[in-house]
Amino acid sequence: MNHHTFFTRMLSSLALTLALNTSNVTASTTIDNINGSATPPFLAWGGNYAGWVYTPNFSYNLDGIYSTFENVGSTTQQGPVERRTVTLSVFDKKPSGTLLAKTTFVADGAGGNLGGNFPPILLLANHDYFIAYENIYNIGLNIPNWIPNQAIGTVNLNGWYTETNWQKYYPKLIDGVLQVFSAPILRFEGTKVSLLPNSADCLFAWAEKNYPQLLPTGATSQTTATYYYRYYKNTNTYIGVSSADNHVYYLAANGNIQDLGNFTNWLATAGCN
């Protein structure tokens, strides 16, 4: 069974679990932000691509991203503003990384609070993700201000990416001068999770020690959707933790998925903190 089949079956299992236990579902809200309450300047984007590397300080299930785009009216210094569909994507680590989520929204010169939602994905604390916009030419900026003398409290990320497919990178400082495009306005929607990668890795290591015929050592931990898991190539089996319902799942080589129960209970059994 390949990874794609695993993703499909695990997601189907999760959907069934949540349908049977709606108490596990929590409404998402703004859970993190970069300059979330800032106001952009009266200028428009001069290119179609913009993106930034974002590193959350805590783990959570992300299901939407919104930003404030400036209202520049029907025309700008670059001419008429055409109504268009903007694509918003989340990649793993960098623009060339694995696509984790994608959504679209309609934008024009009116700007405003724009963005979209998507099926939740697990973001891990201290791990890099790339937030990418496409088709933004001539709509209002979504950065806090234009001049380097930024307002107190403005957060600058480690540079920004632009040009086709975000191939051009500009660092935060160029010849000692702060680049204002390193400070996007981003609001992340989602729900907090109790899953901690170190705890899950401890449980996986315990399971490998106790069930080596099913889970031989050597596998590395990965994420997909709301799962943190390991794939064991030699036995074609998987073990994972869902951050949506806090349960441990095992996928056998024959394709059968087993809900093994509460993650916290398993941590106690394995002696993992």
pLDDT band at 9 (very low <50, low <70, confident <90, very high): low
Q: Over 90: is that where the pLDDT of 5 sits? A: no
Block residue for tokens 């907090």: 192
Residue 18: the pLDDT is 39
CATH for 42-192 is 2.60.120
Q: Tell me which residue has tokens 């680049």.
A: 179
Q: Which residue has the higher pLDDT, 12 or 145?
A: 145
Tell me the two tokens of residue 271. 């002696």
Task: Quote the strand ranges of 165-204, DSSP E.
Answer: 168-170, 173-174, 177-178, 186-192
What is residue 147's predicted lDDT score, i.e. its pLDDT? 79
Of the pLDDT bands very low, low, confident and very high (cuts 50, 70, 90), residue 10 is: low
Give the confidence band of 195 by pLDDT, cuts at 50, 70, 90: confident
Two tokens, residue 164: 């086709």
Instruction: Provide mean pLDDT across the span 185-204.
Output: 94
Q: How far is CA 158 from the centre of its chain?
A: 17
Q: Tell me: pLDDT of 186 over 90.
A: yes
Q: What does the domain layout of the chain look like in residue ranges?
A: 3-25+194-270, 42-192
Q: Residue 178 has which token pair?
A: 């702060």
Q: pLDDT tens digits for 30-47?
A: 999 999 999 999 999 999
Give the separation between CA 26 and CA 198, rounded to whole angstroms. Answer: 24
Beta-carbon contacts of 51 under 8 Å, excluding residues fewer than 6 positions away, are 95, 130, 131, 132, 133, 160, 161, 162, 166
Confidence bin at 21 (pLDDT 50/70/90): very low
What is the separation, in whole angstroms, between the first and last Cα of the chain? 33
Q: Token pair 């691509």 is at which residue? A: 49
What is the average pLDDT score of the chain?
Answer: 91
Q: Over the stretch 218-264, which tens digit does the pLDDT of each residue have?
A: 999 999 999 999 999 999 999 999 999 999 999 999 999 999 999 99
> What values do phi and psi take at 224, rounded to 5?
-155, 140
The tokens for 217 are 């050592």
As a whole number, mean pLDDT of residues 109-113 equals 98
User: How much of the chain exceeds pLDDT 90, in percent?
Assistant: 85
Confidence of residue 165 (pLDDT cuts 50, 70, 90): very high
Least confident of 9-18, 50-59, 78-87: 9-18
Token pair in block for residue 85: 């569909």
- Provide the pLDDT confidence category of residue 113 given band limits of 50, 70 and 90: very high
- Residue 219 C-alpha from the chain's centroid: 23
- DSSP states of 87-127: EEEEEESSTTS-EEEEEEEEE-TT-EEEEEEEEEEEEPTT-
DSSP state of 218: T
> What is the biggest distance separating any 2 CA atoms in the chain, rounded to whole angstroms?
67
